[in-house]
Structure 1
Amino acid sequence: MNYAIGVDIGGTKVAVAAVNEQGTIISRSVIPTNLDIAPEAMIAEIQQEIRRIIERSGVHMDQVVGIGIGAPGPLDSKNGLISCPPNLPAWVDIPIRDLIGRVFPVPVLLENDANAAALAEKWIGAATETDNFIYITVSTGIGAGIISEGQLLKGMKGNAGDIGHAVIDPSFGECVCGQSGCLESIASGTAIAKRASAIVGREVTAKDVFHLYKEGHPDITAYMKDVFNVLGVASVSMINTFDPEKIVFVGGVSEFGEPMFESIQQYVRRYALNPTGRKTEIAAAKLGQNAGVIGAAALCFHNGSFQ
């Protein structure tokens, strides 16, 4: 049996797992992302955690076919660089592939975290029977992984799918990127918490908004209908552009459940350009927090292709 090590790097935590060739996690751990130390020092901690996972899982190094890394963009996956992710402000042009590769005698692959998670859902998740789908994560930020004809769509540097900064409605005001009305500035968990706080007159989190919605708070219910509509707009834009069979949503916002999915589905049925596009399935992801490490491992087994 062969294994791969999946590493999922985020702004607050790093998950590391040993994954077999069926996509089963053998051993998994999570360590905090320390933003107070140099990136190279944090990578040294990741290296140590990889060693621990290999030892804990009982996997011999000669059974490890590679180490896959999923990280937030922007990055340069072809050259193995983490370029300048907003959630990792000190990580500018960090050669993580080479730094990890110096320690472990196996191939090391780097991919955008949303792309890696899309691979996981294609491999063993919500899109195993689908060669054309879009994975959309709606959490602190918004991003997408695009699978077309069984192949991961990467772009020039590996940053394709950064839909969070597609302009949807300039009237919503300025986004952190400098544009006005980006999808992320309207429908991300961060944006929802900010606008909902103004609506209810006190500071609330995205999780608080979820509870207020479930309780039937009238102003929050009306507001979230607008958010669902915006996600419908984004979905139709992706359908018209990429012609997928399915769109898979994941992230904290997907906790709103059936009302959100049905609202997006209705918008798609009404506004997608092509008759087949109007039938695009809107679905929930299956792998949750494990998608990142499983998808990173999938890079070593599938390298972005399921053909």
Structure 2
Amino acid sequence: MYALGIDIGGTKIALAIVTTQGTVIGQDKLATDQMIEPKEMIDTIATRAKHLLLAHNIKEDELYGIGIGAPGPLDSERGMITYPPNLPRWRNVPIVKLMATHFSVPIRLENDASAAAVAEHTFGASKDYNDSLYVTISTGIGAGIISGNTLISGSKGNAGDIGHMVIDPSFGECVCGQYGCFEHICSGTAISREVSKLKGINISTEEAFRLYETHDADIVPYLDTVIERMGMAFVSLINTLDPEIIVVGGGVSQAGDRLFKPIRQYVKRFTLNKEAGDTPIVLAKLNQEAGVIGAAALSFPLK
């Protein structure tokens, strides 16, 4: 038996057929067309999904179900994508209902970070833990929470929207209207934006960390502060959720120990429960496939 995962993003959509062991046996990607109506885009996704199943000789009755990971805000109970900032035309879109016109198997919608958390818990870096937190630091920042081997989704599926937890108001106004949000300070978008201002040219987050390693006089104090603010956020998350492990994914996580070492040091110093100061903070194992594998794994029972 298999499951079909669909990971919806602002620029691309990934599809994958996944086994119960987490093996991807077939996948496809297509661009997210922001110029067409969501229903038309969903019809295209369904058509591509059917072609993918056909290409691998898998019948619909061989699927446990279809899992969809999508950016929030959403309403997983009603199967609706409600108001995602990076999908401006997708407002109160009943994606589960629309997909159900093409498929007869169970279909489940969850926040994309929650789906990635399920992937890492089931097949990845946190598979040997009962209580884990997955944090993605990329274009935006989000989290997925596993407690007692159960995904904590919240009343509408938006639990884990940590990107808009206020860390330091002195960093200015976030797109959400608050001042000093975690995402506004520490996301890849934020780092690239601020470093580009400092240097007067467009600089990617990856390039910013390379400059950091060369002890660039402009970049070092800025990124030292940003990484400290990340540490503050992780301390708050550990104090609040008490996870056994934190798994970090997303593009910014690829900075590796340049990022992880000072965060671990900060956490060890400031968590209220001193034993929690040793909470493992590790790189995601499944990387860019976590979202689509996790979407598929939504159809599998958690261990």
Q: TM-score of the superposition, structure 1-length normalised?
A: 0.97
User: Equivalent residue for 2:94?
Assistant: 95
Q: Distance in 2 between matches of 1:214 and 1:14?
A: 34
C-alpha distance in 2 between matches for 1:286 and 1:183: 23
Does residue 224 (structure 1) correspond to residue 223 (structure 2)? The answer is yes
Q: Cα deviations across residues 95-123 of structure 1 (Å, max 9, x unaligned)? A: 00011011111011000000000000001
Other structure's SS at 1:114 match: helix
- Answer whether contact 1:132 1:148 (CA < 8 A) is retained: yes
2:240 aligned with 1:241, yes or no?
yes
Letter in 2 for 1:254: S
Work out whether residues 3 and 18 of structure 2, in 8 Å CA contact, stay in contact via their aligned partners in 1: yes
* Paired residues of 2:132 and 2:243 also in contact (CA < 8 A): yes
How far apart in 2 are the matches of 1:293 and 1:214? 33
Q: Distance in 2 between matches of 1:78 and 1:131?
A: 24
Count of aligned positions: 303
Deviations 1:202-250 (A, max 9, x none): 2222232133223332321222221111111010000000101111111
Q: Is the 8 A contact 2:113 2:134 kept in 1?
A: yes
Answer yes or no: is the 8 Å Cα contact 2:206–2:255 preserved in 1: no
SS of the residue 1:58 aligns to: coil
Q: How far apart, in 1, do the equivalents of 2:255 and 2:294 lie? A: 25
Partner of 1:161: 160
Aligned sequence identity (%): 51
Q: Identify the range of structure 1 (64-73 vs 252-261) with the bigger mean alpha-carbon deviation.
A: 252-261
List 4+ stretches of structure 1 deviating above 4 A: none
Q: What do the CA deviations read for 1:153-176 (whole angstroms, capped 9, x no partner)?
A: 111100000000000000000000
1:121 corresponding residue in structure 2: 120
Looking at structure 2, the residues matched to 202 and 230 of structure 1 have their Cα atoms a distance apart, in angstroms, of 25
**Does structure 2 retain, via aligned residues, the 8 Å contact 1:43–1:96?**
yes
Q: CA deviation at 1:135?
A: 0.5
Instruction: Give 2:238's aligned amino acid.
Output: I
Measured after TM superposition, the shift of residue 71 of structure 1 is: 0.3
Following superposition, the deviation at residue 49 of structure 1 comes to 1.1
Contact 1:250 1:284 in 2 (8 A): yes
Q: Given that residues 4 and 67 in structure 1 are in contact (C-alpha distance below 8 angstroms), is that contact kept between their aligned partners in structure 2?
A: yes
| 1:191-206 equivalences in 2 (<5 Å) | 191-206=190-205
Unaligned runs of 5+ in 1: none
Q: Which moved more, 1:141-150 or 1:220-229?
A: 220-229
Please state whether the residue corresponding to 1:73 is helix, strand or coil.
Answer: coil
- For residues 186-214 of structure 1, give each alpha carbon's deviation from its aligned partner in whole angstroms, at most 9, with x where no partner exists: 00011101110121122222232133223
| Letter paired with 1:208 | E
Give, in angstroms, the shift of residue 271 of structure 1: 0.1
Tell me the distance in 2 between the aligned counterparts of 1:9 and 1:242: 27
Matched, 1:214 2:213: yes
* DSSP-derived class of the 2:145 partner: strand
Which residue is 1:26 aligned to? 25
Tell me the CA shift for residue 65 of structure 1: 1.4
- State the partner residue of 2:67: 68
Q: Where do 1:1-307 residues align within 5 Å?
A: 2-302=1-301, 305-306=302-303
How far did residue 276 of structure 1 move?
A: 1.9
- Counterpart Cα distance in 2 of 1:301 and 1:80: 18
CA RMSD in angstroms comes to 1.0
1:210 and 1:255 in contact (8 A); partners too: no
CA distance in structure 1 between the aligned counterparts of 2:101 and 2:64, rounded to whole angstroms: 16
The alignment's TM-score, normalised by the length of structure 2, stands at: 0.98
Identify unmatched segments of 5+ residues in structure 2: none
Tell me, yes or no, if the aligned pair for 2:212 and 2:220 is still in contact at 8 Å. yes
Matched position secondary structure for 1:28: strand
Secondary structure of 2:77's counterpart equals coil
> Does 203-212 or 39-48 show the bigger shift?
203-212
Please say if residues 247 and 282 of structure 2, whose CA atoms lie closer than 8 Å, have aligned partners that are also in contact.
Answer: yes
